[in-house]
Amino acid sequence: MRNRGTSKPALAGVLALALAGGCYRASGIPPVPAVIPSAADSSRAALARQLAPVLYVQRDEPFPLDRIVAVVHPRCPVVAYILDWRWDVNGQWLPWTKSSDEEEVWVGYDPETLAPTDLWTYWHGKVLHTEWRDRGQPAVNVQWGKHGNLPRGVVESDLPSPATLNTMYALEFVLLPDVALGRLVHGGPWGFFHSYARYRDFSRVTPTRDRLTAVIVSDAPTKPLRELLGSRFSNKVPWPHDMPGMSADGATADHGGTDRCR
């Protein structure tokens, strides 16, 4: 009986923390500013729309995609796409957790033809790369709830351990209490209760070219992205380290002789 008596206050404390966090869980995305910082000219805006990836979202995805910002690199033939989802399915009940989930896709293109050549996606701390020459419009699979991005057609056995897709699927069952607490705070699912085959069912087709909130030009886009996405913008990886024009330390090469993107 004593153990039961002490567990009730503990449970009540956790629930109170989650519900108190509900006052905080409004979207942290600010209104679009009247003047877009570092706005692209018409030709670069057209390029960003032309290369914008098609998202193949998992069919049961519970959260909306609120904002997409394209970043055109001023010298390198690469365009970044920042995808701002309203929630992440895990850890969102904690009061200090950020109330949106930013993910990233990068498209490399041929400077002469402007056709896509490479595709990079952000996948749980790793940047995945695949060649995209002669494969048409860039296409990305989007994971349920956590929104990790996979180049469409990727071989799942090639995903970096431990962030494999089947591990992610198993974790959602382990983390069911966490998902349920998130539902108390901001709504959403109680959990994912379907098969692994359905977890891999990326069939909700979402084109992005007509959904770009803004197109900016910058090789260091953190400041303008914070103006567009909020002061707590995640700033995960500005650019892939192996894109054309990147130096060995991952920084954009300057205008000296090593810069291949002038």
Q: State residue 85's pLDDT score.
A: 94
What rounded mean pLDDT belongs to the chain?
Answer: 86
Distance, CA of 23 to CA of 255 (rounded, Å)? 49
The pLDDT value recorded for residue 157 is 85
- For residue 235, the model assigns a pLDDT of 87
pLDDT at residue 26, rounded to an integer: 61
Between strands 214-217 and 65-72, the pairing is parallel
**pTM of the shown model:** 0.86
> Could you tell me the residue ranges of all domains in the chain?
2-229
Could you tell me the maximum CA-CA distance found in the chain, to the nearest angstrom? 76
Instruction: Report the C-alpha gap between 70 and 209 in whole angstroms.
Output: 10
As a whole number of angstroms, the distance between CA 131 and CA 112 comes to: 17
Residues lower than pLDDT 70 in the chain: 1-27, 245-262
Exposed/middle/buried for residue 48 (C-beta within 10 Å: 0-12, 13-18, 19+):
buried
Query: How many Cα atoms occupy the beta-carbon half-sphere of 106 within 13 Å?
Result: 25
Inter-helix orientation angle 176-186/2-21, to 10°: 50
Alpha carbon of 259 to those of 108, 119, 253: distances in Å? 16, 21, 5
Is the CB of residue 82 less than 8 Å from the CB of residue 112?
no
Position of tokens 């085959």? 197
| pLDDT the model gives residue 94 | 78
pLDDT of residue 18: 44
What's residue 56's pLDDT?
98
Q: Which residues pair with 84 in a beta bridge?
A: 67, 102
d(CA 234, CA 12): 31
Per residue in 48-71, pLDDT tens?
Answer: 999 999 999 999 999 999 999 999
3-state secondary structure of 180: helix
Q: Is the peptide bond before 162 cis (omega within 30 degrees of 0)?
A: yes
